[in-house]
Copies of this chain bind each other. A is one copy, B any other.
Amino acid sequence: MQDADPQDHDMPLRLDTRSPDFTERFRAFLGTKREVSADVAQAVAKIVEEVRHHGDAALISLSKTFDRVDLGALGIRVTDDEIAAAVEASDPATREALAFAHGRIRSHHQRQLPTSGRYVDAAGVELGHRWTAVDAVGLYVPGGTAAYPSSVLMNAVPAKVAGVKRLAMVVPAPDGVLNPLVLAAADLAGVDEVYRVGGAQAIAALAYGTETIAPVAKIVGPGNAYVAAAKRHVFGTVGIDMVAGPSEVLVIADGEQNPDWIAADLLAQAEHDTAAQSILMTDDAALAEAVIAAVERQLATLPRRDIAAKSWAEFGAVILLANLDEAPALANRLAPEHLEIMAANAEALADAIDHAGAIFLGAHTPEAIGDYVGGSNHVLPTARSARFSSGLGVLDFMKRTSILKCGPEQLRALGPAAIALGEAEGLSAHARSVAIRLNL
């Protein structure tokens, strides 16, 4: 039950399934903690209560402290004019790429719309369910360097496809600055309201409402430790999506693959965050060495090389297999957020892997395609949570009402068993509510 420490060298971990200590070392690797989970629960509880009781005034005061911005002067809500100006100010080629991505994401997610239905069973009982959209959703967007317009699309599009009427976005404006592309993406995706507020205070405002921000029913979107703790805190009052952790990729490759391409993919993951994780599994020792060398080479010219190098050294791993058939079982234990399979038998390997957020098949599907323009969602379960959860989708913005209808005949057929169970559970009024209709 001990977690392993991050690696204490400047190269990725190397494992070999043929080593006698592999099982033990792989288990330790699985337990590696990549995040210091600061205990901010109490600080967050205080912030939430402040917003709950003082509304806008608390938002203004907390934003002064945390974001050095005077929302009293600037306004909590970002105006339509500001959004239009941001769209105008953004690079047209980037706007075009965003529009292209938006179209593909929307088309794909439209296929996720569920169907409602009713049926009558052999006893004549009518059963069914109806899917409806969540009325109002809050979307948290991080500020600063992690403000990604692509993430705005990935969160907002499924909500709008689901039929969410009111989509309210919150984004911190440190020193008053907002990312124009984030606003352009929000505009494109049909976000209905934008507020320049972040942190736990933004989550509290969405959950409980303030004078300016009407409460929502569900909150989605990634954030720092304060945002995550605030979401956990308000869970139940509103729905929340998963709690996002640092991102990871696993590349499974056979010996025929291009080591430069693999190295580029590993670094695309590593550049996100020093806590990101890039893993290669291959049955070809020469490819493994070539990839490690290519990573070193490519790092030299990477703008975010400090972040990527630290992630690769601390959390990266190259796992050598006796043969690729060993990969699915290990991949299932890792349950990676992203899984690239670059191998002749990619489809067969994919079929054997149950726990992964998204699978990218073949050498011409780098994860970055899925991050931006593939059409599928890039909000995916991190930190082994693909064992129990799915990427974001349209269903996350809908809910199912079940429907049951009996006539007198069905009640006579089903009633006696219901009465027996009600009595057995000591719930006589349950039993009576059936018996009274059957004159029992």
Which residues in A have some Cβ–Cβ distance to B below 8 Å?
1, 41, 52-53, 55, 91, 93-94, 96-98, 100-101, 104, 107-108, 111, 119, 121, 125-127, 129, 132-135, 145, 148-150, 181, 208-209, 217-218, 232, 235-236, 238-239, 242-243, 245, 260-261, 264-265, 267-268, 270-272, 298, 302-304, 308, 350, 353-377, 380-381, 383, 385-391, 393, 395, 399-408, 410-411, 414-418, 420-422, 424-434, 436-437
Complexed CA–CA distance, A390 and B132 (Å): 10
Complexed CA–CA distance, A417 and B271 (Å): 19
Q: Chain B contacts of A232 at CB under 8 A? A: 232, 235
B418–A399 contact, CB under 8 A? Answer: no
Q: Which residue of chain B lies nearest to A371 when distances are taken between CB atoms in the complex?
A: B430
A119–B111 contact, CB under 8 A? Answer: yes
Q: Chain B contacts of A96 at CB under 8 A? A: 417, 420
Q: Which residue of chain B lies nearest to A211 when distances are taken between CB atoms in the complex?
A: B1
Q: Chain B contacts of A385 at CB under 8 A? A: 236, 239
Complexed CA–CA distance, A150 and B171 (Å): 45
B127–A365 contact, CB under 8 A? Answer: no
Complexed CA–CA distance, A100 and B413 (Å): 11
Provided the pairs A399-B390, A433-B267 are in contact, do residues A364 and B410 lie with their beta carbons within 8 angstroms? yes
A404–B209 contact, CB under 8 A? Answer: no
Provided the pairs A127-B375, A426-B304 are in contact, do residues A433 and B268 lie with their beta carbons within 8 angstroms? yes
Complexed CA–CA distance, A366 and B53 (Å): 41
Complexed CA–CA distance, A368 and B406 (Å): 12
Contacting residue for A91 out of B245, B267, B391, B424, CB 8 A:
B424
A429–B372 contact, CB under 8 A? Answer: no
B55–A428 contact, CB under 8 A? Answer: no
B366–A434 contact, CB under 8 A? Answer: yes
Q: Is the interface of A mostly helix, strand, loop or mixed?
A: mixed
Q: Chain B contacts of A417 at CB under 8 A? A: 96-97, 100-101, 372-373
B271–A427 contact, CB under 8 A? Answer: yes
How many copies make up the complex?
2
Complexed CA–CA distance, A375 and B405 (Å): 11
Q: Chain B contacts of A98 at CB under 8 A? A: 421
Q: Which residue of chain B lies nearest to A420 when distances are taken between CB atoms in the complex?
A: B97
Q: Chain B contacts of A376 at CB under 8 A? A: 127, 129, 402-404
- A7 CB, min distance to chain B CBs, angstroms: 21
Q: Chain B contacts of A431 at CB under 8 A? A: 368
Q: Which residue of chain B lies nearest to A351 when distances are taken between CB atoms in the complex?
A: B130
A372–B101 contact, CB under 8 A? Answer: no
A271–B357 contact, CB under 8 A? Answer: no
27 residue pairs from A and B, CB less than 8 Å apart: A94-B421, A108-B121, A108-B127, A111-B119, A127-B374, A133-B354, A148-B425, A150-B421, A217-B387, A239-B385, A268-B430, A268-B432, A272-B427, A356-B401, A362-B406, A364-B407, A364-B411, A364-B437, A366-B411, A368-B418, A368-B422, A368-B430, A369-B411, A373-B421, A386-B401, A389-B399, A390-B399
Complexed CA–CA distance, A135 and B332 (Å): 10
Q: Which residue of chain B lies nearest to A396 when distances are taken between CB atoms in the complex?
A: B388
A308–B365 contact, CB under 8 A? Answer: no
A369–B427 contact, CB under 8 A? Answer: no
Interface centre among A53, A260, A356, A390 (most CB of B within 10 A): A390
- A27 CB, min distance to chain B CBs, angstroms: 12
Q: Chain B contacts of A381 at CB under 8 A? A: 399
Complexed CA–CA distance, A359 and B414 (Å): 18
- A286 CB, min distance to chain B CBs, angstroms: 20
